[in-house]
Amino acid sequence: MGFVEELSDVVSEVRHVLVLPDRDAAEEAAEALGERFGLVEEPQLKRDALAGEDDAEDVQWLLVVEDAEEQLDPRELDEFAAEWDGWREEP
């Protein structure tokens, strides 16, 4: 198999990460995200403690959205995250 054929077998995996200020916002946004963008797979919710912070309130929540078919518009995700006082991380 040649190099070109090998490249065609590689599946690009696109992920979007939305950073939200707290768990409540992240849970609400996860539900709304699926409804608004018609996601088949539910976004993954992850806790992200800020570096050097021991206080449980100094935690951000991440929504990880798989977009293997690259159908989600990053600008629309930026606007969506801003509605929840969050933002989209650039890859």
**Eight-state DSSP code of residue 22:** S
- At 12-65, the pLDDT tens digits run 468 999 999 999 999 999 999 989 999 888 899 999 876 555 555 568 999 999
User: Has residue 53 been placed in a domain?
Assistant: yes
- The CATH number of residue 53's host domain is 3.30.70
Instruction: Report the length, in residues, of the chain.
Output: 91
User: Has residue 7 been placed in a domain?
Assistant: no
**Residues of the domain holding 54:** 13-89
User: Has residue 34 been placed in a domain?
Assistant: yes
Beta strands 44-49; 87-89: pairing state:
unpaired
User: Has residue 43 been placed in a domain?
Assistant: yes
pLDDT at 3: 39
Q: What are phi and psi of 59, to 5 degrees?
A: -130, 135
User: Has residue 2 been placed in a domain?
Assistant: no
- State the pTM of this model: 0.77
- At 65-90, the pLDDT tens digits run 999 888 999 999 999 999 999 999 98
pLDDT at 37: 93
What total of structural domains would you count in the chain? 1
Cα 53 to Cα 46: distance, rounded to the nearest angstrom: 17
User: Has residue 70 been placed in a domain?
Assistant: yes
